[in-house]
Structure 1
Amino acid sequence: MVLRESPFPNRLLSGLYSLGQYLLFPSYWAADCLLDLRETTAEQQQRRCCRCCPLRALVTGPLLLLLLILSMPSALLGLLVWLPMQAARRPFAYKHNMLSRHPEVWELPGTGKVFSFVSANVCLLPNGLAKFSNLGHMKQRAARIGQCLTQGEASASFASPRSSQFLLPTKYGATMASPPRPESHTHRPGASMVIELPDREGEAGPGEISVPFPPDVDFVCLQEVFDQRAGAHLCQLLSPFYEHIVYDVGAYGLQGCSLKVQLGAAHGQRIVGYLNCTHLHAPAADAQIRCDQLTQGLFWAQLFQDTHTQRGDVIAFDVFCGDFNFDNCSSGDELEQTHEIFRQYQDPCRVGPRQDRPWAIGTLLNYLHIHEEAVSTPEKLKRTLEQEEGRRTYLAGPILQDGRPDPSAAGSPWEGRRIDYILYREHPTTISLTTEVEKFSFITQLAGCSDHVAVGLRLLLNAAPQWQQQV
């Protein structure tokens, strides 16, 4: 697939698209500001401390409503210009940054390789919509999220130059990719806390609660980069660290989007990896819609692989991740818990329907409490989630089919709603590699920036014994 910087084939279509956006902006801005009058719990607390009267809504509300009404004719014209452009728009935009680092070549057979994946719902919606998740200040949160994502990369680049990477922030999902480098398996003291609870086999599991993002991450998938300004700001912040940035993936275009990452070679055969990122329907009562979306996602993923896989390809990994908007502990999510995806892909945190590993915790925060002192920083959120009482208070709990809290879960061990997933599968036709889960992380770095806990997965790939014997 050829990567082009503009999502449009020529400047005329790009200009018409921009014109439509300019005509739509006044109505968009007025509607966003009207919704932004809703206060978060942090703003309510600040107003009480300052003993201010809530006059903002009374003064600015009518003016914003008048502006919204007056701007509707131009918005209608802008919509008539903007909509047809979606048929001509490519499924993503692309930014290329020249870096001094060069990609490393992975040859098989050889030493094992570790691939690190991160998935995070960053809730970068316009301010007015973000308020429904008790979040606001989109620009400030985008800047902080960019800083969080680059802190680990900056330290890794200083210690050992990284190869070229991809970052794909988008409305529904994003991906960052880089060919791997040899692992030293170094450990930074105090970086994470491994939950040493035995699993069903009586051994400690690979789960951990970690504050920082991994310093050697290969793929980052971001959901809910809904605001174009936030996506552009992230691109600006991440450009010094990532050579290839693909953004606005599937944001507006009517076409589907798929990439395949080539990782290296093995006796003239390609080593490839497949990565699928999605964000499913949210309302609790619409379980069948989520199941249909997963079914379509599996179909599209398989169709892409069948279309682009070449004979002799060595498939290093096949990962399916994102915000699925259902969990494995709620009785109301029973339909999704038995979906076909869990027979095709493996969930490292799951034993079976309604049963997770003892070290697994929820990833959806109770949005009403995300600004409280106990979870106000990444370090405090980590310490809070290490305790069951903290999880009961600050993680969203199991729900019934209509979305109400499940009263039967009150006395059981509390894990919270784990709705962010990183699944993987091994291909039976690929006998050259073995896959081992080295670590699964629950990352608290985005405390105060999102109502989700990010998740990370490290997969260790080695040449299979029969491959080594043949060589």
Structure 2
Amino acid sequence: MLLPESPFPNRALAALDSLATGLLAPSFWAINRLLDLQPTTARGGGGCRGCAGRALAAPALATLLLLSLPLATLGLLLWLPVQAARRPFVYQHAAGTAPAQPWDLRQRRTFTFLTANLCLLPSGLAKFSNLGDTPRRATAIACRLAPGSPGPRGHRDALVAPRHGHGHNGYGGTLCAPPPSPGSLRVEVAQPVPVVAQPVPVVAEAVPVPLAERLPADADFLCLQEVFDAGAAAILRRQLAGTFPHLLFGVGGLGLRGGRLKLLDSGLLLASRYPLLAARYHGFPNGAREDALAAKGLLAVQVLLGSTRGQRVVGYLGCTHLQAPAGDAPIRQAQLGLALRWLQLFREEQEQDGDVVAFDVFCGDLNFDNCSPGDELNQRHHLFEVYQDPCRRGPGQEQPWAIGTLLNYLKIYEEPVSTPEGMRRTLSQPGGRQQYLAGPILANGQPAPVAPGPWHGRRVDYLLFRQHRGAPPLRTEVAGVSFITQLATYSDHLPVALRLDVAPVSP
């Protein structure tokens, strides 16, 4: 499959899109600045001086918006038809990347995956999640996802060689040893340390959790959600390109799609150290209310991992972001069904005779958890019979060490969770998790009564995998799981990392 390297098939359409975007820009800027006037709970975000400044700015911005409406109307009339020709994603790759290296199927190989919801919307919209200042946050996040000089390209034995021993500290935090099955995953972590701030009550026995302060430096694949802002996406692409030679961005169709207006793309961005053989995007047809304005859907890719005896060694990766509002469990249920069907069709379309499949991973922000009574419908979806979730034991039952990935957004700037180190210490305690993680909800989105037992919080960000039944037989095992605190104050979600070992099945 030839992956498109520009959003439009020719320069004329690209020029028309630029013209339309320019005509829309003043109105967009004014609306964004008006929304951006709302304060956050960050230090310095309020106060009388801030209120006075906002009171003076609001009328001026409203006047500018009214004056720009004629230009915006013309721009919209030009923008809508041009979007019909926009491609579903854009491929960015580094020139001169090395071909796939030989793979001895008798040896174990290891791959690291990271999923993260970054809340990189235009600053005014990000304020609804108590964030904002999107360009600054995008720069900080990009430097943390791909720090330092460009990573090695081509042959990467140092990054994918087998790792020996237990508790290998490859995530920059804690890891677990390969288990015989996901249900018996053993986590090795340091003992929790006290919170260096106002103490919170301990509500249950402390359970060690796999928390890490730093993002994995050896991540092979990044699956990012809510990269909606075009400027933020450009910042990420520039920084990630040195480490991840293969990126997909601008995912999803804009304009009128299926009779619905899409003002934002899907927000998905995928980065890979390995070459992409094929990619496919499918948009969900059933988005509702504010979510319907974004082109949410599924991005599926096939990656080339190596070759053996003339056969391709490939992996499959699916990334998505489901319907958000709490009361929309039936919509999410249908979206999960569509995603499963599309993933299977994609594999059937792309697999060639003799292909060796090393892994099949499905990830993203699914917007439901495994502890809320209101999410019971989604917790029992057929998805979990096809893909394995190493963080759960069954519907409504988490592993003892699993924790929520959705923060209490109103408290993200409070001192105990304002730094990666502080957040790790705080969330190492049951009381800290209960205070700073979003709690379980009812079907209407209201807080659910606290059930007895350990506090997990809402784990809405998932990294799932499934075994491949084929020849030659390879087995996928969980080598590590980590919840990462390095994006403290930059997002209202915790990134999640999963390390998989791929090895031959023992005779």
Could you tell me the TM-score, scaled by structure 2's length?
0.82
1:58-207 maps to which residues of 2 (within 5 A)? Answer: 58-98=55-95, 102=98, 105-151=101-147, 154=149, 157=151, 161-163=152-154, 181-184=160-163, 187=168, 191-193=172-174, 204-205=186-187
Distance 1:247 1:202 in 2: 37
Superposed CA RMSD in Å reads 2.7
Kindly provide the CA deviation profile for residues 133-164 of structure 1, in whole angstroms up to 9, marking residues without a partner as x: 0001101100000010112x759x4xxx3438
Does residue 1:439 correspond to 2:439, yes or no?
Answer: no
Distance 2:32 2:318 in 1: 31
Counterpart amino acid of 2:304?
Q
Distance 1:328 1:54 in 2: 41
For residues 392 and 194 of structure 1, do their structure 2 counterparts lie closer, same or farther at Cα, with a shift above 3 Å needed?
farther
Equivalent residue number for residue 389 of structure 1: 431
Equivalent residue number for residue 407 of structure 1: 449
| Greater CA drift, 59-68 or 427-436 | 427-436
Question: 1:227 pairs with 226, 229, 232, which one?
Answer: 229
Distance 1:73 1:430 in 2: 63
How many angstroms does 1:385 deviate by?
A: 0.7
Equivalent residue number for residue 269 of structure 2: none
For the Cα contact (< 8 Å) 2:434–2:455, is it kept in 1? yes
How many angstroms does 1:431 deviate by?
A: 4.8
1:241-320 maps to which residues of 2 (within 5 A)? Answer: 241-250=243-252, 252=254, 256=282, 258-320=300-362
For the Cα contact (< 8 Å) 2:182–2:389, is it kept in 1? no
Question: 2:419 pairs with 377, 380, 395, which one?
Answer: 377
For residues 164 and 193 of structure 1, do their structure 2 counterparts lie closer, same or farther at Cα, with a shift above 3 Å needed?
closer
| Greater CA drift, 113-122 or 70-79 | 70-79
How many angstroms does 1:312 deviate by?
A: 2.1
How many angstroms does 1:465 deviate by?
A: 3.0
Equivalent residue number for residue 20 of structure 1: 20
Q: Secondary structure at the match of 1:20?
A: helix
Does residue 1:56 correspond to 2:35, yes or no?
Answer: no
How many angstroms does 1:106 deviate by?
A: 3.7
Equivalent residue number for residue 7 of structure 2: 7
Counterpart amino acid of 1:135?
L
| Greater CA drift, 317-326 or 20-29 | 20-29
Kindly provide the CA deviation profile for residues 171-223 of structure 1, in whole angstroms up to 9, marking residues without a partner as x: xxxxxxx9963245695599314589x99977734761111111111111000
Kindly provide the CA deviation profile for residues 59-90 of structure 1, in whole angstroms up to 9, marking residues without a partner as x: 11111112212222221221121122222111
Kindly provide the CA deviation profile for residues 290-331 of structure 1, in whole angstroms up to 9, marking residues without a partner as x: 111111111111111111111222111111100000000000
For the Cα contact (< 8 Å) 1:164–1:244, is it kept in 2? no
For the Cα contact (< 8 Å) 1:106–1:263, is it kept in 2? no
Q: Secondary structure at the match of 2:453?
A: coil
1 or 2, which has the higher helix percentage?
1
Q: Secondary structure at the match of 2:227?
A: coil
Q: Secondary structure at the match of 2:463?
A: strand
For the Cα contact (< 8 Å) 1:24–1:78, is it kept in 2? yes
Equivalent residue number for residue 169 of structure 1: none
Does residue 1:37 correspond to 2:16, yes or no?
Answer: no
For the Cα contact (< 8 Å) 1:195–1:209, is it kept in 2? no
Question: 1:218 pairs with 200, 217, 220, which one?
Answer: 220
For residues 263 and 19 of structure 1, do their structure 2 counterparts lie closer, same or farther at Cα, with a shift above 3 Å needed?
same
Distance 2:155 2:236 in 1: 18
For residues 62 and 91 of structure 1, do their structure 2 counterparts lie closer, same or farther at Cα, with a shift above 3 Å needed?
same
Gaps of 5+ in 2: 189-208, 258-280, 283-298
Distance 1:79 1:368 in 2: 36
Gaps of 5+ in 1: 166-177, 467-471
